[in-house]
Amino acid sequence: MNEGNETPPVRPPGGCPVTGAGAKQVEGPNGFPMSLPLLSTVAYAADPPGFSLRAQKNHGTVVKLPLLPHNPTVQLSSPEAIRRVLQGNADNYSRGAYYEAFELFMGRGLLTLDDGDWRPHRKVVNPAFTPNAIAARAAETDAAVADLLDRWAEHARTGRPFDLFTESMALTCRVMGLALVGKDLSQDGGEFARAVSVALEAIFKNVGLDKIIPAFIPTRHRRRTAAARRTLERVVAQAAQDVDLGVGGEVATLIRESDLPEDALWSDLVTLFLAGVETTALTLCWTLYEIARNPVVRDHLEEETDRVLGRRLPTNRDLADLPYAGMVVAEGLRMHPPVWQFTREAIEDDVLADHHIPAGTPLLVSVYGAHYNPEQWENPERFDPERFRPGSTATQDRSAYLPFGGGRRQCIGKRMGLALLEQAVAGISGRFRLTLTSGEAGSGAYITLFPKGGIRVTAKERRR
């Protein structure tokens, strides 16, 4: 795949720079109920990913959606349009009105700030996410993966089914917690993991129908949200105290000792918690699910781990010698992108993939739609790691694949997340063969794509 960094020519709003022809107006869905904002919003809330794909299939990769409270919103899954928003004309696109909901937990920090204010925050935390920094923490990851495998050995001995998402969250809470605040955040009976999941749900619901209910009504959702915030406040307060005592985590120390505003510790740590812990766990969970469903992929993966590792566990240094594990993770991220869409808002008029976008238009960049766009991916419903073999021409456009976003705002934890995922997938595949006991998993969606009801499996120790 190429890098997709070509900057398209700047087109005058509403017109083609070569022919002078007017750009197309963005069309929306016609007919009942999709054209009615309230009913369309209800249909979207019932199945957000399915709604996104239906809109793409029926109306194209640039489509106007009548969604409340920001009607109309334009959904983008066109690589050309996405590339212009994230790279070619990125200065014309702010985070937008949808990001107001993110401030409920994330405040004004790494995710919610527009570029000018965002850069100092990114600069402060960047040293913790370099390849050297990740390698320096490799022993922590090695130990976390080894303990996960030992725990699964007990599951294999008893034959009892267990939930992949719960186990994956325990792993990422430990690894990410140690990197961010110097604490294993999996040792509280799942309280921190639940707080992260509830916070992501609350952000999503704060955009839509939940805002209609008067604020003074203590709904179950609001009580859970308040409890999640108290948990995160406790973790951040302890992180600040640890830094002051000289025993804080790397990221917390960088923020606490910087010139960033006082509230940056909360905003940036919570942003990294929410952007890194559940997303990485979900990718591991979904990838293991796909391996269990695809025996050919499983066999290739087991052959590679046996040949490269023998009976030992993988380390960070082994990842370059495990290319198929990396391909499997990449395909897991394509089929199940953890953050399946994100938003922008046009500052001035622009043209995206020959469609006129007026100033002030809210945009939904549909990662899910881009990853399932049949114009870019052959048989997109099939789990096929060979798409990502070096030299593959499965897709020629980098902007059709963006599980970590794109452009200058690409996820800062990309290297760290991929290293953990590849190491975990290789380690698990080398030692265990998983069998699904809960059948086909359905996807639910808030900010992330999660398996409804979890994914239950049994593990069997492999004989080599």
In CATH, the architecture of 113-322+406-464 is Orthogonal Bundle (1.10)
pLDDT for res 3: 44
Residues of the chain with CATH 1.10.630.10: 113-322+406-464
pLDDT for res 385: 97
pLDDT for res 210: 56
pLDDT for res 207: 54
pLDDT for res 22: 62
For each of the chain's 464 residues, which pLDDT tens digit applies? 444 444 444 444 445 543 344 688 888 765 444 567 888 888 888 899 999 999 999 999 999 998 888 878 999 999 999 999 999 999 999 998 888 888 889 999 999 999 899 999 999 999 999 999 999 999 999 999 999 999 999 999 999 999 999 999 999 999 999 999 999 999 999 999 999 999 999 888 775 545 566 777 778 888 999 999 999 999 999 999 999 999 999 999 999 999 999 999 999 999 999 999 999 999 999 999 999 999 999 999 999 999 999 989 999 999 999 999 999 999 999 999 999 999 999 999 999 999 999 999 999 999 999 999 999 999 999 999 999 999 888 777 889 999 999 999 999 999 999 999 999 999 999 999 999 998 889 889 999 999 998 999 999 999 64
pLDDT for res 15: 53
From the CB of residue 116, how many other CB atoms can be counted at a distance below 10 Å? 8
pLDDT for res 419: 97
pLDDT for res 217: 76
Residue 8 tokens read as 């398209």
pLDDT for res 463: 64
pLDDT for res 20: 41
Classified by CATH at the fold level, domain 1-94+340-402 comes out as: 3.30.43
Residues of the chain with CATH 3.30.43.20: 1-94+340-402
